[in-house]
Structure 1
Amino acid sequence: MLSAQPVAPRPTKYKEYLKTLAENSTIGFTIIHKETGQFIGQCSIKVAEPVKNRDGSFGISMFPKFWGKGYGTEATWFTVDHAFKALGVQRVSLDVLEGNEAAIKLYKKIGFKEEGRKRRANWVDGHWEDSLSMGVLDDEWAEMYWKHHD
């Protein structure tokens, strides 16, 4: 996701949300603060059609007060690793606003590469921002994963 902020789920609506994810080849994860049990965000992988291409699309959103504390990094590592190891995708892609420098730095650190740019794709705070398309392949991920998890 670009820079969306999550909405804390209501139990009845959350079941419907999970059903929708399952019907759309999307695996969603709730990000919970380990110490407080508080809902702080969510992330997902959607396996794009046609499935034979094994292309997963990653998205994450977190409440701003939890940005910059490493929670997004941990959730991203977990979700992307799950996409490769459990879902068997051969690539994971994402879109991110060019102004989201912290996210871009994280994505590059864990192996994502810029693959394209959508010029003036989003109106943000009174100006246009480009959206960057980024991706990481399974072999690139394996190499990066072991560098960080020795």
Structure 2
Amino acid sequence: MREVTAESLTPQPTKYKESLKTLAENSTIWFTIILRETNEFVGQCSIKVAEPVKNRDGLFGISMFPKFWGKGCVTEAAWFTVDHAFKALGVQRVSLNVSEGNKAAIAEEGRKRRANWIDGHWEDGLSTGVLDEEWAERYWNQ
């Protein structure tokens, strides 16, 4: 289990709410994740398409309370959001930037060294992604 440092727990509820609102407003799609059984807020996920006509690359983002990790919530929300981005937004690629400690990253395409200060140490940032034809082959043709 990872130790949580004070830096990651600095309470700033007003600023946090404002940053979430800004993130949602700047996203192409934004989903709030709610647990079916209890209607409890689990987290959020989004896709931001910076150049919808030219490059059509959707940047995927997800944030979820740790108590829901390892229970399939992240996988289900990610699958739904990425599938929606390909089908409804017509993106040709969905990208994800993660910290090196996130072992669930699909495949490393690039590395930004010492990108994030996490739990008292530096971690590299990794870039990964999936193309529309790869997604279709894996999930649409089953």
Which residue of structure 1 lines up, in the alignment, with residue 98 of structure 2?
Answer: 96
Structure 2 residue ranges without an equivalent (≥5): 1-7
In structure 1, distance between residues paired with 2:65 and 2:53: 32
Work out which of the residue numbers 26, 29, 39 in structure 2 matches 1:37. 39
In structure 2, distance between residues paired with 1:138 and 1:20: 25
2:140 maps to amino acid: W
In structure 1, distance between residues paired with 2:136 and 2:99: 26
Q: How high is the TM-score relative to the length of structure 2?
A: 0.80
Work out which of the residue numbers 57, 66, 70 in structure 1 matches 2:68. 66
Which residue of structure 1 lines up, in the alignment, with residue 4 of structure 2?
Answer: none
Structure 1 residue ranges without an equivalent (≥5): none
Question: Structure 1 residue 46 and structure 2 residue 48: aligned?
Answer: yes
**Aligned residue pair count:** 129
In structure 2, distance between residues paired with 1:38 and 1:50: 33
Show structure 1 runs of 4+ deviating over 3 A.
19-22
Alpha-carbon deviation of 1:146?
A: 3.4
Over 3 Å counting, the alpha-carbon distance change for 1:115 and 1:50 in structure 2 is same
Work out which of the residue numbers 117, 136, 140 in structure 2 matches 1:142. 136
Question: Structure 1 residue 84 and structure 2 residue 63: aligned?
Answer: no
Q: Percent of aligned positions with the same letter in both sequences?
A: 75
In structure 1, distance between residues paired with 2:65 and 2:119: 18
Secondary structure in 1 aligned to 2:84? helix
Over 3 Å counting, the alpha-carbon distance change for 1:69 and 1:144 in structure 2 is same
Per-residue deviation, residues 62-105 of structure 1 (Å, max 9, x unmatched): 0011110000000000000000000000000010011111x32x
Does the aligned pair in 1 maintain the 2:27–2:46 contact within 8 Å?
A: no
- Summarize the alignment of residues 17-36 of structure 1 with structure 2, pairs less than 5 Å apart: 17=21, 21-22=24-25, 24-36=26-38
Alpha-carbon deviation of 1:21?
A: 3.4
Secondary structure in 1 aligned to 2:36? coil
Question: Structure 1 residue 128 and structure 2 residue 122: aligned?
Answer: yes
Calculate the aligned-residue CA RMSD, in Å. Answer: 2.6
Q: How high is the TM-score relative to the length of structure 1?
A: 0.76
Alpha-carbon deviation of 1:51?
A: 3.6
Alpha-carbon deviation of 1:126?
A: 1.5
Does the aligned pair in 1 maintain the 2:34–2:43 contact within 8 Å?
A: yes
